[in-house]
Amino acid sequence: MMNGRHVAAAAILALFLAGCGSTDLVPTGNTHYPPWGGLVQVLDKPPAVNYIRLGMLTAHGGWADTETAMIETLKSAAAKVGANAVVLLGDRQLEGRNMLFMPEYDMTAMAIRTVR
C-alpha cells in the first residue's frame, strides 16, 4: 500500500520523466490542408521551390527532451495541419524552469506545404 510519501515521490518522478508537453500552432493564413501522411522534411532555411506558410509551431519540452525528440514533435504537429516540411528557426532554447527548478525548452519552426 502506498503512503503519502510514496505518492509524493511518484508524482515528482512523473514530473521528471515527462516528455514534450505540448505544441502550439499560430496559423499564418487561411489555407487548410488535410493531414499529411508522408514524410515531413526538416529544413534549416526555406526551400527554393514555391511553398505556402501554414503556421508557426512551437514545441515545449523538459530537461529530458533532446533536440531530436523536439524536432519529431514539430514534424508530427506539422503533418496534422497538412505541412510536408518544417523550417527550423533555431536550436532548442532554454525558456525557463519548472516548479522543481528543472529546465524547460522551446523549439520553433515554420510549417510549410511545398507546391509544384
Q: What is the pLDDT of residues 58-112, one digit of tens each?
A: 999 998 899 999 999 999 999 999 999 999 998 877 778 888 889 999 999 999 9
Is-above-0.75 flag for pTM? yes
Q: Residues 31-41: what's their mean pLDDT?
A: 95
Q: What are phi and psi of 4, to 5 degrees?
A: -60, -35
Taking the CA of residue 8 as centre, how many other CA atoms within 13 Å lie in the half-sphere pointing to its CB? 4
Please name the helix (run of DSSP H) or strand (run of DSSP E) that holds residue 56, with its range, or none: strand 51-62
More confident residue, 47 or 18: 47
Spell out the domains of the chain, with CATH numbers in brackets: 19-114 (3.30.110)
